Each structure stands twice: as C-alpha cells, then as structure tokens.
C-alpha cells in the first residue's frame, strides 16, 4: 500500500484521482472509481441546476459508500451557469471534497470553509498556484503541458512544473496532473514531490465511462503525436484529439488575425459531446485527449485499472529500491 497526505486526508485507498471531465464525469463512472479505491469527481456544469446536481450526487451515493467529490470549473459563459446553486447543493449533500478549475474560487471559499469542504484548485503555473493558496484553497492540482483540455500558455511540462510547485509550496499537498496514466507515472510523480496523481484520459478508456466505444478505442490506438493545440491565437489553448475538425481549427488559427467567429461553430462544445462522445463520430467535433494516450493500451474496468496501476507502481518501487 502507498499512503500519502492525500490518501490520509480523504480516506481513500490509493493516491489516484479522476478529476472532473466535461461529458464524462457522471455518477456511474465516479462511483466505479471510488469503489476501486481512487477518488472521482462529478462534473457540476453538465447539470442544468443545483437540484439536478444534487440528484446526481444521491445517485452516486446509491452506488458507493466511498468518498467522492464534485468539480466546479469556473469559466465565463454566454449562458449563465448557476455556480451558487451548485455550491449550495454540494454543501447540502454533505460532499466534503471539491475540485475547482478556471478562475480562482475566491467567492465560493467562505461557504465551503464554513461547511468543512476541502478545495483542490487546478493550476497551470507556479505563480497561479501560489496565488490560489494565498486566497485559501487547501490543495493544488498542478497541470503540465501534456494534459488534455487547457494547459495554460506557458508550455511547461510536468517534470519541471511539478517539483517547481512543490518547492514554492512546501506545506501544501500537490497533485500531479497531465501525462499521468500508469504505475510508472505514479512513482515518478511521488518522487517529484506529489501526494497523488490526477488521471483524466486514462479513465475515459474504461468500461464504466459513458462515452462511445469508438472514442475509447481511438484513445487506445492514438500515440503521443495524435493531439492538436487549438485556441493558441486566442490565448485560450486547449489540447484536443487530432481529427479533421481540430486540424481545420489549428490551420485557421495559424493566422492570428482571424477572429473567433471563424472557428466558433467548429469548436462548439455541444458538437464534441453529442457527435463524438455520445454518437461515436470521431470527426464530428472537437474532443479533449491528453498525450498520455500513448501509454493507454486497453479498456479495463475501473477496478482492474486501479489494481494494475498499483501493481505496476509497487514493481517499479521495488526495482528502484533494489
């Protein structure tokens, strides 16, 4: 068994976390992750209201008696997102772990602290991590350039970003995000000072993930070269899977004078969630995937995945020790 500050703080069996993922982080998968001994997060903004989120939390509780959390990705939106309602639903549910991303959760921290909720904030730079801790978050999840989704604009890989964050925040538990997919990743992250690893793409390729089998198989088939960076000209970089749509967007955005309107329809989140994740059309829209897909070679159950990761981690630890 590998025990860390994170496993002790949250009462989980392994230092493995599945963070919030749009279109993926539903209760069925989160419960399977929890039952496997890891920590999963329901993605709040997939639900239209606080009541709907509360219902998903209760549904998850019916499937597991292990700890799990809720992700709040705080971002600007044309359509207002009911963040205050989500926050109150989380508190009312008794969930004690929240993962935030995007802007700092400054306006939500007083209520969460009052309710005894621990807040993990995901950052892509050391300076943002230091700032978030000063504002009151409890834990930092530091996201390297390898990650799926938004890696920030500094382009620093996790092998440098992780220990730099640990050095800057020696008294704060740090979670390693981006490029994590197996037991080797876990041991490497612990050696660099992390207390746990966050895996997103790896948990997409599991039996319990409610996404189309075509997407899972594509993750298995892809290599580290099969992602594309879009949104660079807008300073809102996202790492997504390589397909016809993402390559078209990247080509358009090579001209920094082209406005967002030129790619707005191509980058619409609904296209990715419906056409790709739900219906399995791999060229139907943009969908996120990290470079860790190069390390993913099967589609196990969550229980099998976590057990395999820990078995490999123990073997690596023994080899290094010898």
Domain boundaries, the chain: 5-210+297-321, 227-288
Say whether pLDDT at 220 is over 70. yes
Mean of the pLDDT values across residues 272-288? 96
- Quote the mean pLDDT of the chain: 96
Q: Kindly report the pTM of this predicted structure.
A: 0.96
Q: Which architecture does CATH list for 5-210+297-321? A: Alpha-Beta Barrel (3.20)
Q: What is the pLDDT of residues 75-116, one digit of tens each?
A: 877 678 999 999 999 999 999 999 999 999 999 999 999 999
**Confidence at residue 78, expressed as pLDDT on a 0 to 100 scale:** 66
The model's confidence at residue 119, banded by pLDDT at 50, 70 and 90, is very high
pLDDT score at 75:
86
* Secondary structure string (H, E, C) spanning the chain: CCCCHHHHHHCCCCCEEECCCCCCCCHHHHHHHHHCCCEEEEEHHHCCCHHHHHHHHHHHHCCCCCCCEEEEEECCCCCCCCHHHHHHHHHHHCCCEEEEEECCCCCCHHHHHHCCCEEEEEECCHHHHHHHHHHCCCEEEEECCCCCECCCCCCCCHHHHHHHHHHHCCCCCEEEECCCCCHHHHHHHHHCCCCEEECCHHHHCCCCCCCCHHHHHHHHHCCCCCEEEECHHHCCCEEEECCHHHHHHHHHCCCCCCCHHHCCCCCCHHHHHHHHHHCCCCCCCCCECCHHHHHCCCCCCHHHHHHHHHHHHHHHHHHHHC
Average pLDDT over residues 170-198: 98
């Amino acid at each position: 068994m590998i025990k860390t500050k994170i496993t002790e703080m949250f009462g989980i069996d392994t230092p493995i976390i599945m963070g919030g993922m749009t279109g993926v982080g539903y209760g069925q998968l989160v419960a399977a992750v929890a039952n496997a001994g890891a920590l999963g997060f329901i993605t709040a903004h997939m639900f239209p209201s606080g009541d709907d989120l509360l219902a998903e939390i209760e549904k998850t509780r019916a499937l597991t008696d292990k700890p799990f959390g809720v992700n709040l990705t705080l971002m600007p939106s044309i359509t207002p997102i009911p963040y205050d309602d989500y926050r109150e639903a989380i508190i009312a549910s008794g969930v004690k772990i929240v993962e935030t991303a995007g802007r700092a959760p400054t306006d939500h921290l007083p209520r969460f602290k009052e309710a005894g909720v621990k807040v993990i904030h995901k950052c892509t730079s050391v300076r943002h991590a230091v700032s978030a801790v000063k504002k009151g978050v409890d834990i930092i999840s530091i996201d390297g350039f390898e990650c799926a989704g938004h890696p920030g604009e500094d382009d620093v890989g996790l092998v440098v970003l992780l220990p730099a964050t640990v050095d800057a925040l020696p008294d704060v538990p740090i979670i390693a995000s981006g490029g994590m997919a197996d037991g080797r990743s876990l041991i490497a992250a612990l050696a660099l000072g992390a207390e746990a690893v966050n895996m997103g793409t790896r948990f997409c390729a599991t039996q319990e993930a409610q996404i189309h089998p075509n997407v899972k198989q594509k993750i298995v088939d892809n290599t580290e070269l099969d992602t594309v960076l879009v949104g660079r000209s807008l300073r809102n970089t996202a790492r997504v899977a390589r397909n016809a749509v993402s390559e078209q967007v990247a080509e358009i955005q090579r001209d920094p004078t082209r406005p967002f309107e030129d790619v707005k329809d191509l980058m619409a989140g609904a296209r990715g969630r419906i056409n790709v994740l739900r219906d399995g059309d791999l060229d139907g829209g943009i969908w996120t995937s990290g470079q860790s897909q190069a390390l993913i070679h099967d589609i196990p159950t969550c229980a099998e995945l976590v057990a395999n990761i820990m078995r490999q981690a123990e073997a690596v630890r023994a080899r290094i020790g010898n």
